[in-house]
Amino acid sequence: MTAPSRTTVAVVGGGPAGLLLARLLHRSGIDCVVLESRDRTYVERRQRAGILEQGTVDALRACGAAERLDREGLVHDGVELRWGRRGHRFDFPSLTGGRRVWVYAQTEVVKDLVALQLADGAPLLFDAEVTGVTGADAGRPVVHYTHEGLPHTLACDYVAGCDGSHGVVRRAIPRGRLRTYERVYPYSWFGILAEAPPSGDELVYAHSPRGFALHSMRSPSVSRLYLQVPNGTDPAAWSEEEIWDELEARLAVEGGRKLNRGPVTQRAVLPLRGSVTEPMRWGPVLLAGDAAHLVPPTGAKGLNLAVSDVVLLARALAERAATGTAAALDAYSSACLERVWRAQHFSWFMTTALHTEPGQSPFDTRLQLARLDRLASSPHAAAELAANYTGLPLT
């Protein structure tokens, strides 16, 4: 592919945010180029989230990217929370007026979007490492990158930073123009992928005196499970038997079934933190997804927030192209941040209600249990949980 030198929108980052943005722009008749620093194999194997909100599925369907999702995705109408060795199921459709979630791995979303992009979308360059952005202060941004061993420049009207929290694009914004709010949690998740059929039909989140645990899945034959562990834990230090025994203990309920066990094929320790960078726009430079915010995975919001960002951004850029007005583009940051902070609050609530702090007092544990008991006893609290988990509607 000949390296393009001019486009309307330079999309930096070929993850789900950048790929979906490019897809939406292409369908609106706005030319763009996607630059991804990694190769295609790496991008399509990069393990991340697996829960898709109703709004995310709707967005993928609207742009023709949900054919395999609708065929292979696992529809979930609820979630179970466990505490005090009791399980409590929250039925999403009845609590939200019909909304639900899907289990469909981010790797599969990316594969679907890559295939569409290469088949009929805007240019997508893998192994294209962006080294800097210049000219943005004058309203004429130029993206500098290397591809196939050669340096290139890409002049554009806008730069969309979809390249993560350590990406190049946000570093192009001058110091002092951004403010970042951050919380680092005092524990991590030890996650495993196992060749074992899921032990239930829906996700199970568990609060226990031993720490948090989560039972999830990737397919009818592959389970995804997590344990709360201290920060800095070495995942190799656990034997498979120790992992399964600890999961069994934390997920146990009276009269419950045993976990299906199987070979552990992947393991990793994931630190938990939340961060929000404000604003999400500086002139022609726009941030989306992890480049602007991170959430702990407890609320399943990371990928879904990225999708809502780029849906709003694509609408704003389409309005600008069609009418010449910039009202939606000017409101992009504030519109996104309202949703981001609500998702941060929900993720914080789920995280702090279900995890045990190091050295936590019995008083604080009783407060946690009171918060959880309210979810089970109050229809209003249950509806609030379901509304946030399935995702607030995109406006």
Cβ density class 159-179: b for 16+ within 10 Å, e for less: bbbbbbbebbbbebbeeeeee
76 included as an active-site residue: yes
Question: Does residue 104 carry a catalytic annotation?
Answer: no
Which member of 187, 301, 332, 355 is catalytic? 301
To which H or E segment does residue 298 belong? none
- For residues 168, 191, 206 and 274, what is the CA-based torsion angle, rounded to 10 degrees? -10
CA-to-CA distance for 225 and 248, rounded, in angstroms?
11
Tokens of 376: 């089970």
Please say if 389 is a catalytic residue.
Answer: yes
Catalytic residue among 145, 185, 187, 205: 205
> Which of the residues 26, 76, 215, 293 is marked catalytic?
76
CA dihedral over 228, 229, 230, 233, signed as positive or negative: negative
Q: How far apart are CA 294 and CA 183, in angstroms?
A: 10
Q: What is the torsion angle, in degrees rounded to the nearest 10, for the CA atoms of residue 38, residue 306, residue 77 and residue 260?
A: 30
**Burial group, residue 143, by CB count within 10 angstroms (0-12, 13-18, 19+):** buried
* Catalytic site residue from 207, 296, 297, 332: 297
Considering the candidates 104, 185, 187, 389, report the single residue annotated as catalytic. Answer: 389
Catalytic residue set = 76, 205, 297, 301, 389
